[in-house]
Chains A and B, each alone.
Chain A
Amino acid sequence: MSTAVHGAPAIEAAGLVKQFGKTRALDGLDLTVPAGTVYGLLGPNGAGKTTAVRVLSTLIRPDDGYARVLGNDVVRHASQVRSTIGLTGQYAALDEYLSGRANLIMIGQLSRLTARAARKRADQLLERFELTMAAGRAVKTYSGGMRRRLDLAASLISHPAVLFLDEPTTGLDPSARALMWDIVRQLVADGTTLLLTTQYLDEADQLASRIAVIDTGKVIAEGTPAELKASVGGRRLLLTLAAESDGAAAAGALAPFATGAITLPNGPSRLIEVPVAATDGLATEVLRVLDNAGVKVSDIAVRGASLDDVFLTLTGHAAEEKAAGDSKEEVPA
């Protein structure tokens, strides 16, 4: 409905604190999201991502700190904030018994569209999200991917300038996930500011132009994906050995290059992974040393750190491993 003042951040938060009983879900969260960008909030379950989104979308009040969306305070000017945002939560926020089209029209009218405008916009969105065929069916008959798409369409019905997507692809199969990614990319092309939470590192890497890594309710690192990777420093050397039996010899020869633990071939992969410092001529040097040791190499690659490495370095634990064991305890009852 309204667009951000040029140059001003679309979302800014400082020192946000939210306590649920003994759990400090947000512990001084700071955030600045430039207008017209996709901003990723990356962290494991329980890190505070959902709580942050709920504060920014006016659903819950912070205990301390402040947040503004397009310059409006989320507590004092909550109704202005609501008229400029769209929210897609982790669970499809739809009426199961209404058709897809009826859901969109209802949400459109509640978003202050006239009935006529809501119908027109609903039909546009159904077509854009490939749901026209299912438009007349009750939502309870929809697949998971269709629900997410309809849910996202519902968040877009009033052309929000700022959109919150809370784990938009959690639980989706790869093709549904790819479709969601496409939709997100189109939205950015339209100029929407998007705050996206995810526990998938590749998703943040693929979609977000800036990322805040959060853990235990605080931002522990912030920057572009490239900056975050660079902040970890080193690179990784990937070697595929010609013969599996050369693993030990190769590891011995590579030990002087390693800046951390060497990952040896696991099963028939013949792949050795070595964390190394970024130095010129590294690959040539490595090949010479391995040749001297009589180890034959079929493939060699040096790549920059992945977001996985970033996450591991920053938090001391891998994102997705921890996430797998956790329940979704972030959403307060």
Chain B
Amino acid sequence: MTAITALPAADLTTDRKAAAQFLGDVWVLTKRSIARIKNEPETLSDVTIQPVMFVLMFTYVFGGAIGVGGAGGSYHSYLIGGMLGMSMAQTAPGTAVAVVSDMSTGLIDRFRSLPMSRAAVLTARTIADLITQAIGAAVVAAVGLAIGWRITTSPGDAIEAFALALLFGYAFTWAGVCLGMVLRSPEAAQQTGFIIFLPLTFISSAFVPTQTMPGWLQPVAEWNPMTALAAACRSLFGNPNPATAVHAWPEEHPELTVVLWAIAMLAVFAPLAVRMYRNKNR
């Protein structure tokens, strides 16, 4: 039986700087989320099986009926840029579900009673989801390559495209965290996430050129960050990109638009999420 004694200083990390403690906490908690994925790999199906299904369905079911607006090239070459965006955004409902589930267990109370960083729990969630999104991006690229999609530009351009996609995905993850903090049940998070993220994906140039939409809808689609990401990826991959014919600012500066959207979303949703976590049940 060990008596209550002060722990030796060598066993403690209390003398580390706040930033080092924050990163340490994030790392410990990210490992927790990764262990969960290892334990139940089926939780990855939304970034592994689903994108494969969507790529194949869009290519072989709708592909023949969708023109890419005279930009030349085949639909499957056009599709992958949009598919990459979809696979990023659609992890957000999963993030919301994970956050709601965590919040509803006693584990979060324990975390909140520990001398750990307040922002670490949510940050670790987003890091784990970023890893998930990277897997999703790799799956989309692999299935794309299998059906004939090619990158015709330099490796640097391709890396820039994937980096933009992940930045975009990371910003959406924080929106998903906020959603999870607001909602009360995993079911509500799943459904609300679907209602928000499905129109966001479809009212964009992810699957069809915005020029084919009715005039009143075109500005919505043109300013949708999903459109900017799809256009940026298509241009960086050297794929057909009908957006170049659209005279709207986001289409003229797709890469900058993605970065600005991501910064704006992170600036709003990350502090909001941490604030909600801090004040939960107060």
Residues of A within 8 A of B (CB): 1-3, 54, 57-61, 79, 82-83, 85, 87, 89-95, 97-98, 102, 106-107, 109-114, 116-117, 124, 138, 154-155, 158-159, 161, 186, 189-192, 332-333
Contacts and interface: CB of A to CB of B under 8 A. Distances in A.
Contact of B36 (A58, A97, A110): A97
B12 A89 contact: no
A110 B28 contact: yes
Contacts of A161: 4
Interface string B105-145: 11101111111100010000000000000000000000000
A82 B116 CA distance: 9
B45 interface: no
Nearest to B24: A109
Contacts of B21: 112
Interface in B239-274: none
A91 B7 contact: no
A112 B13 contact: yes
Given A2-B6, A114-B12, A332-B281, 17 more contacts: A1-B6, A93-B109, A94-B106, A95-B32, A97-B36, A98-B36, A106-B31, A109-B24, A110-B25, A112-B115, A114-B11, A117-B7, A117-B10, A124-B2, A155-B110, A186-B1, A190-B3
Closest 10 CB pairs of A and B: A117-B11, A93-B106, A93-B110, A83-B115, A91-B106, A82-B115, A191-B4, A87-B113, A110-B116, A109-B28
Kindly name the residue among B36, B39, B114, B116 whose own CB sees the greatest number of chain A CB atoms within 10 A.
B114
Contacts of A82: 113-115
Contacts of A107: 110, 114
Contacts, number: 114
Nearest to A3: B4
Contact of B3 (A89, A111, A113, A191): A191
Interface of B: 1-7, 10-14, 21, 24-25, 28-29, 31-32, 35-36, 39-40, 105-107, 109-116, 120, 184, 281-282
14 contacts: A54-B109, A83-B115, A89-B109, A90-B106, A92-B106, A93-B105, A93-B110, A98-B32, A98-B36, A102-B32, A106-B32, A109-B13, A112-B21, A116-B11
Contacts of B113: 57-59, 82, 85, 87
Nearest to A105: B28
Contacts of B114: 82, 107, 110-111
Nearest to B15: A112
Contact of B35 (A89, A92, A98, A186): A98
A95 B34 CA distance: 13
B6 A89 contact: no
Contacts of A85: 113
B31 to A, nearest CB: 8
Given A97-B39, A117-B12, A61 B282 contact: yes
Contacts of B5: 159
Contacts of B39: 97, 138
A189 B1 contact: yes
A3 B3 CA distance: 12
Nearest to B37: A97
B10 to A, nearest CB: 7
Nearest to B120: A110
Kindly name the residue among A92, A111, A124 whose own CB sees the greatest number of chain B CB atoms within 10 A.
A111
A87 B109 contact: yes
Contacts of B40: 97
Contacts of B32: 95, 98, 102, 106
B12 A154 contact: no
Contacts of B105: 91, 93
A52 to B, nearest CB: 14
Contact of A111 (B1, B112, B115, B120): B115
